[in-house]
Structure 1
Amino acid sequence: MKKDKIDIIKTSGEKVRFSLDKLRSSLRYSGASETIINRIIDNIRDELYQGISTKEIYNRAFSLLKKEKSHFASKYKLKKAIYELGPTGFPFERFVSSLLKYSGYQTEVGKIVAGKCVSHEIDVIAIKDSEAVVIECKFHSEEGLNCNVKIPLYIHSRYEDVKYNWNLNRIDKPELTKGWVVTNTRFTEDAIVYGKCVGLYLLSWDYPMGNGLKERIDRLGLYPITVSTLLTNREKQFLLSRDVVLCRELLTDKFYLDHLGVSDVRKNKILNEIKLLCTI
């Protein structure tokens, strides 16, 4: 059987043709050298079979990258690491807030704001210069669940209610100029069309093209703590509960590793992985 004729199964259940180019591109994203990438591709190509899942291919690539360098595997698992911020959406809200802080915004998370008709709990309020934006975060802990048009429809009505009262009574507050919807998955086409029509800013894993969550994270080096391949799930949850959402925050709050009872040898490995990741 020719390896370029293999059909693979996506998380959504959709069957697509295996693409060597897509696999190579995803491996390059990890920062691994072409020599390492070629070695991994040769391994995976030998193990392909008709109907293999994208999850199996991912797990194999991740395992092989981890054997090479842990920070390659960390960067490779970025999308999965965002899902691991769950099961609730609160860590994702704090993650979005952190991304905006490093982009020059002042932010608040989970604030109750009065609207014209009713009060609303706003996931993130972000202020920069003389403008304010309100942001609703839609987190999915499972792959394949996209945001359809109902989400921006609902968020836009909340935004308009908040905007009316905010700008009428703002006094010393900056003008509220924009509503955002941020998701860790993707928007359907009709959701994007509606967002453009009413002026909502939509931000997802890969939208807007070239400036989605993935590109922003890479550009700023703001990786979530869940990308670490050396921290256990229990340790990650402990750190998230202490508002350590970003890898680089652990570099300054490393005393939490002492609270967790992490040995000096292992602590140095964890911090080295994070330093390498944040400087790629």
Structure 2
Amino acid sequence: MQNQDFEIIKSTGEKVKFSLQKLRGSLQRSGADTKDIEYILNIVRDELYQGISTKEIYNRAFALLKKKKSVFASKYKLKKAIYELGPTGFPFEHFVAAVLKYSGYEVTVGQVIKGNCVSHEVDVIARKNGDYLVVECKFHSEEGRNCNVKVPLYIHSRYQDIKKQHQNNKEKEPNEGWVVTNTRFTTDAIQYGTCIGLYLLSWDYPKNNGLKDRIDRLRLYPITVSTLLTNREKHFLLSRDVVLCKQLLGDVFYLDHLGVSEQRKQKILNEISMLCNV
């Protein structure tokens, strides 16, 4: 049986044909060289069977990459690392704020703003060059859960209430409402958001400028991508609002606080420095 004839099961439960090119593309984004990629592809292809899950394929490719170089595995696990910011959406809000901050915005997280009808706690407020963004973050800790049209409908009504209050008080009003999710938007959600002028940002939308593209371009990897930090250490760092690898480079004392040995600390910092291209 040819590899393209294998049906694999996505996290949504949907069955699709296995694509060697898609797997190759995800491995290329990790930074691994052609020789290592072909080696991994050959092993994964030989281990395929009907009904294998995308999770199993990912786990195998990740393990093989990690053996080659941990920094490749870290980049490869980016999508999973975003889910690991959960189970609450709070670290994700700080992550989105950090991405905007490194894009030149002044940001505030969790600010309560008075609307015309009621007050609203806004996940992120961002300002730059006269732009005033009201950003709502929709975090899902489970793969396969997408944002449907109800999300932009709800966010748009909140955004309009805030705008009207600013207009009534003759204050500078927000000029853009954003919805950011770590998963994907349904077709209806994108259609509605585009129609009413909301800016939608998801894992892979807009095309070539989605969350994954911005993270890779700015090298703003979440701390959860690290293959060397334990889950306990990651949770400790997240509880101190250290959500980016870049932040840990400036706050190394947290590793001392965790009792990380000098030798292991250097390995962690080397991995993170390579990720951040420092």
**Aligned-partner Cα distance in 2 for 1:49–1:184:** 29
After TM superposition, the structure 1 = structure 2 runs for residues 124-135 of structure 1, keeping only pairs within 5 Å, are 124-135=124-135
Q: 1:232 to 1:170 in 2, by over 3 A?
A: farther
Give secondary structure in 2 for the equivalent of 1:126: strand
Matched residue count = 278
Of 242, 246, 253, the residue aligned with 1:255 is 253
Equivalences for residues 139-178 of structure 1 within 5 A: 139-169=139-169, 171=171, 174-178=172-176
Is the partner of 1:122 in helix, strand or coil? Answer: strand
- Offset at 1:168? 3.2
5+ residue gaps, structure 1: none
Alignment correspondent of 1:19: 19
| TM superposition shift of 1:278 | 1.3
CA distance in 1, matches of 2:207, 2:132: 24
Shift in Å, 1:5: 1.2
Deviations 1:145-182 (A, max 9, x none): 000000000000000001111233254xx431011000
1:131 Cα deviation after fit: 2.2
What is the rounded CA distance, in whole Å, between the counterparts of 2:4 and 2:140 in structure 1?
33
1:110 corresponding residue in structure 2: 110
Contact 1:131-1:175 within 8 A present in 2 as well: no
Maintained 8 Å contact 1:147/1:191: yes
CA distance in 1, matches of 2:148, 2:155: 12
For 2:64, the equivalent position in structure 1 comes to 64
Pairwise CA distance, 1:277: 1.1
CA distance in structure 1 between the aligned counterparts of 2:185 and 2:170, rounded to whole angstroms: 32
Runs of 4+ in 1 over 2 A off after TM superposition: 1-4, 166-171
Matching residue's letter, 1:209: K
CA distance in 2, matches of 1:170, 1:178: 17
- Normalised by the length of structure 2, the TM-score is 0.98
Rounded to whole Å, the distance in 1 between the matches of 2:165 and 2:133 is: 14
SS at match of 2:42: helix
User: What amino acid is aligned across from residue 258 of structure 1 in structure 2?
Assistant: D
Once superposed, what is the RMSD of the aligned Cα atoms? Answer: 1.0
- Aligned-partner Cα distance in 2 for 1:125–1:7: 44
SS in 1 for 2:216: helix
Supply the distance in 1 between the matched residues of 2:214 and 2:20 (Cα, whole angstroms): 26
Residue equivalent to 1:74: 74
CA contact (8 A) 1:133 1:179 kept: yes
Name the CA distance, whole Å, in 1 between partners of 2:20 and 2:260.
40
Tell me, which stretches of 5 or more residues in structure 2 are unaligned?
Answer: none
